[in-house]
Amino acid sequence: MEERETPDDLDERWRTDLAGWGIPAEIAAAARSDPWEHSPARFGERTDRALAVPEGPTLLRAAEALPPGGSVLDVGAGTGAASLPLARLGGLIAVDTSAAMLAELEVRAGRLGVPVRPVLGRWPDVAGETPPADVAVAAHVVYNVPDLSAFLAALTAHARHRVVLELTHRHPMSWLSPLWAHFHGLVRPTRPTADDVAALARRLGYGVRQEERPAPLPRFPSLEAMAESACRRLCLDPARAEEVVAAAVELDMWPVLRDRWVTLWWDTA
C-alpha cells in the first residue's frame, strides 16, 4: 500500500498526524506556562554530558562523513548536543528558533574554540540565508515540523556529504498519554512515528539507513522532576504536582519507560 503513496501523500499524512497532537483550546487556556517549552538549562546539561562522554550512533554517523576540520549544519541545534561533541569540527552553523538556546550553544562553542555562525529562525524558512556544510544534523526536531518534506529537502540540499537525523521512535510527548487520559479524559494519538519519517525520506529518493537504541539516559532524575514537567505539559496548576505523582504511581508510569532513539542517515554525495 505504502509503495504507491507519493511523497505528497506521506507529507500530508505526517502533517495531519502531527496536528492530532495539538492541545484543545479550552485546556491550553488554563496553562500557567507554555506546555511545549524546552528549557535551555536542561538542554545545556544534556550537551555538557554529551561533551563529557561523546557516544552514540548519531555522533558516529556524523563523524564518519566529516572531513578533518569540516563544517556541520545543526538544525534545531538547541545547545549543541548533536554537533559540538564532534571531535574534528572546524565550524558550526547552528539554526534554532530560540535565541536562548543559541546563546547557551555559543558559550559552549566559545569554550571549545569552535567558530559558530548562529542563524535565528525556523527551518526551512531560513534555509536561503544559511550556508551549506559538510554534514547536516537535526536531532529531536522533526516532531515540531509540520512541513517535513520541505524540511528534509532543504537539509539535504545544504549537506555536501551526509544528513543525520535523531528522533524518538514515537512522539516525544507519548509518555504522558496515560496522564492526559487521567486528568483530561483525552486520548492522545499513536502516530506519527520515526517509521513515517524514514518512509517519507525514502520516497523523496534518499538512501536512508537506520539504527535504533534505547534512550541513553532516564528521562527524569526524580518523581518530583517528572511531576513538575507533567504539570506544565498537561496545562495543570503546578500545585497539583502531588496528584500527578499519585496518578503516575497508580498508573504504573514510574519510572518512565525509556524511549527508543532512532538515528536515520543518508549520503548526499
Ligand X SMILES: C[S@@+](CC[C@H](N)C(=O)[O-])C[C@H]1O[C@@H](n2cnc3c(N)ncnc32)[C@H](O)[C@@H]1O
Among the listed ranges 21-29, 38-46, 157-165, 236-244, the one in contact with ligand X (CB under 6 A) is 38-46
From the list 92, 43, 66, the residue with the least C-alpha distance to 163 is 66
Per CB under 6 A, does 135 bind ligand X? no
Distance CA 246, CA 241 (A): 9
In whole angstroms, how close is the CB of 98 to ligand X at the nearest point? 4
Residue 63 or 247: the one with the smaller Cβ distance to ligand X is: 63
In sequence order, what are the residues at sequence separation of 6 or more whose Cβ sits closer than 8 angstroms to the Cβ of residue 241? Answer: 224, 227, 228, 231
How many residues of this chain bind ligand X (CB under 6 A)?
Answer: 21
Per CB under 6 A, does 141 bind ligand X? yes
**CA triplet 258, 261, 267: central angle to 5 degrees?**
175
Residue of closest CB approach to ligand X: 78
Residue 103 or 246: the one with the smaller Cβ distance to ligand X is: 103
From the list 56, 94, 58, 91, the residue with the least C-alpha distance to 74 is 94
End-to-end Cα spacing for the chain: 30
Q: Which of 13, 15, 46, 202 binds ligand X (CB under 6 A)?
A: 46
What dihedral do alpha carbons 62, 55, 197, 260 form, nearest 10°? 170
Distance CA 211, CA 196 (A): 15
In whole angstroms, how close is the CB of 38 to ligand X at the nearest point? 5
Per CB under 6 A, does 145 bind ligand X? yes
Per CB under 6 A, does 219 bind ligand X? no
Chain positions 77 to 116 lying near ligand X, rule: CB under 6 A, are 77-78, 81-82, 95-98, 101
Residues near ligand X, by CB under 6 A? 38, 43, 46, 75-78, 81-82, 95-98, 101, 122-123, 139-141, 144-145
